[in-house]
Amino acid sequence: MSTENQTSTASGRVLLRCLGYLRPYWPLVVGSYLLLLINNGITLGMPLIISSIVDRGIRGGAPDFILRGTLILMGLALTRGLFTYFSGSWTETASQNVAYDLRNALHEKLQSLSFSYHDRAETGQLLTRAISDVDRIRFLTGRAIVRLVEILTLVAGIAISLILVHMQLALLTLTIIPLLVYNALHFGTRFRPLSRTIQQRVSTLTAHLEQNLRGARIVKAFAQEQAEIARFDKENAVLLKLNLSAARMQALNLPLMRLIASAGTVMILWYGGQLVIQGRLTIGELVAFTTYVGQLLVPIRRLGMIVPAIAHATASGERVFEILDAEAEVKELPDARPLAPVQGHVRFERVSFAYFGRHKVLDDIDFEVQPGEVVALLGATGSGKSSIINLIPRFYDPTAGHILIDGQDIRHVTLSSLREQIGIVLQDTILFAASVRENIAFGRPDASEEEIIAASRAAAAHEFIMELPRQYDTLVGERGVTLSGGQKQRIAIARALLKNPRILILDDATSSVDTETEALIQSALARLMEGRTTFIIAQRLSTIRRADHILVLDHGRVVAHGRRTVEHTAHDELLRSSGLYAEIYYRQLRPQEEERRGTYYEHQYRQ
């Protein structure tokens, strides 16, 4: 099979799949198409009435017949207008519901896809597919297909009517139809790949714009406005060039179709006029014939516009279905069962992990944590700390080994029941463009006001929240832009604590707060960690000293593991037994702690 045939077959499958979304709304669709067919019947009957008015009314000198004929035409025109309204309304209702269903399906799919998918996907691309591409499919399942059916049935009906009026003249006239249809279809075949390329470039441009808007402060901080303007202009110029090519193709197509249609009109006037003179055709029949040809030109011209629109929508369908058909790398097993309330016993059994199955970041990780213990993860950037905590709630699945919680392999339990028992504060604090209250209660929308305030107090957030313009009802802006880094982090901690999780994950959770605030948070967390298994990516000595386990990672392996005992802390054990930990301590942790302590005392002195 040739590449062109394969492309055509794939396009046909995409088109049928798009139309399949109309199935739940078949009564509206069937009703709309029935009215359309009735309208086409009215359209085909009107030239015959005009022919009778000319021959029997005008030439026959019968004014009453003229009056009756014109009243019938007026009634048919009103009926056609009414049916057109209902047909269009029902079609649009069905297609809008298709867009509604598709957007819901896309959102649900994006929510269910694994972190690895979002690691690769660009936000701007996804936004374009969820909005622009879905709207093109809406047009396809609505007006585009209705127009296409209208055109095909009308052209067939007109062809039959022309033959019934006069066979020879009809055969001469109908020679233009294959030319018009071939030109329209050939144009669509060439226009479709260009359309897909344009949509891809629009997505790229949207992604670039989205990144610039998100990173506006960084762009300005590094004085890169002109560089970003130039980069955007370059991408925009590519899109302009493609759009101009598409415009030239469309500008050539319409005049060509008009030229072919005009040739048909000329043939009718030339040959039809001779038939009238010879008495083989009445004037009324010639008028009906020219009326039919006039009716033929409009749908054929529309075909030239509908075909590229369908090509656009088919390309959009391919892009939307790429998302809907994407496979989540983290999947629930068919027999997955809910995870019962856990105690917090966590075990890694020879766990290895590689991003996208290629970039290995964890190698043979093996450790065990008892309920209520605190685990501090320590190591250089890229050593695997974040990867370990991302595996616990199954944001990713290990490529080898097993992770057990209370003796159950987490692959064998439902994702929701697992994640409901884990509280997380990510390193990149994400807040939604909503109120402070809504952000804190995100994991527990049914939480009471007292519970929200209690969680805020525990995270040392209540005081600064009460100083905000509308307190807990204050909107924080997109990504929490109106708050400082420390304030965002404390709200994120309150959000995690409100879940009252059995397992708590803190990804460098106090990295953006000052010494005084950190002391408040650490004091609150010390009380809240009691009885909970806690994993902390720690860069500060105060956190590390409190840990029951200290895992020192290097290039994805645990190179040192300190444990708290009755005789000594995990920190003291590692100072004696691990040269790498001792080096980290003397070069990084102790100087950092001394510096922070000096800053704290200086602050106290100034007060």
pLDDT, tens digit, 9 for 90 and up, residues 52-61: 888 777 777 7
The amino acid sitting at 531 is G
* CA nearest to 22, candidates 131, 103, 109, 102: 102
Q: How far is CA 329 from CA 114, 363, 537, in A?
A: 6, 20, 25
Phi, psi at 554, each rounded to 5°? -150, 120
Instruction: Please tell me the predicted confidence (pLDDT) of residue 347.
Output: 92
Q: Are 314 and 14 in contact (CB under 8 A)?
A: yes
The amino acid sitting at 27 is P
Instruction: Please tell me the predicted confidence (pLDDT) of residue 471.
Output: 86
Both tokens assigned to 236: 């925009």
Report the DSSP pairing between strands 400-405 and 346-355.
Answer: antiparallel
Q: Which residues of the chain have pLDDT under 50?
A: 1, 599-607
- DSSP annotation of 152 reads H
Q: Are 395 and 115 in contact (CB under 8 A)?
A: yes
- Residue showing tokens 């959000």: 495
Both tokens assigned to 347: 């075990």
- DSSP annotation of 433 reads S
Both tokens assigned to 474: 């204050």
Instruction: Please tell me the predicted confidence (pLDDT) of residue 86.
Output: 92
Q: Are 283 and 311 in contact (CB under 8 A)?
A: no
The dihedral built from the CA positions of residue 295, 297, 303 and 306, taken in this order, carries a sign that is: negative
Q: Give the three-class secondary structure for 357.
A: coil
Both tokens assigned to 13: 């499958």
Both tokens assigned to 270: 């030339």
Q: Are 275 and 289 in contact (CB under 8 A)?
A: no
Instruction: Please tell me the predicted confidence (pLDDT) of residue 602.
Output: 44
Q: How far is CA 16 from CA 13, 22, 141, in A?
A: 5, 10, 10
What's the CA dihedral at 96, 102, 108, 110 to 10 degrees? Answer: -130
Instruction: Please tell me the predicted confidence (pLDDT) of residue 601.
Output: 43
Region of residue 379 (left: phi > 0; alpha: psi -120 to 50; beta: else): left
Instruction: Please tell me the predicted confidence (pLDDT) of residue 200.
Output: 75
Instruction: Please tell me the predicted confidence (pLDDT) of residue 279.
Output: 79
Within 10 A of 607 (CB to CB), how many other CB atoms are there? 6
pLDDT tens-digit readout, 139-186: 888 888 888 888 888 888 888 888 888 788 888 777 777 777 777 667
Instruction: Please tell me the predicted confidence (pLDDT) of residue 404.
Output: 92
Mean pLDDT, the chain, whole residue set: 79
Q: Are 261 and 117 in contact (CB under 8 A)?
A: no
This prediction's pTM:
0.69
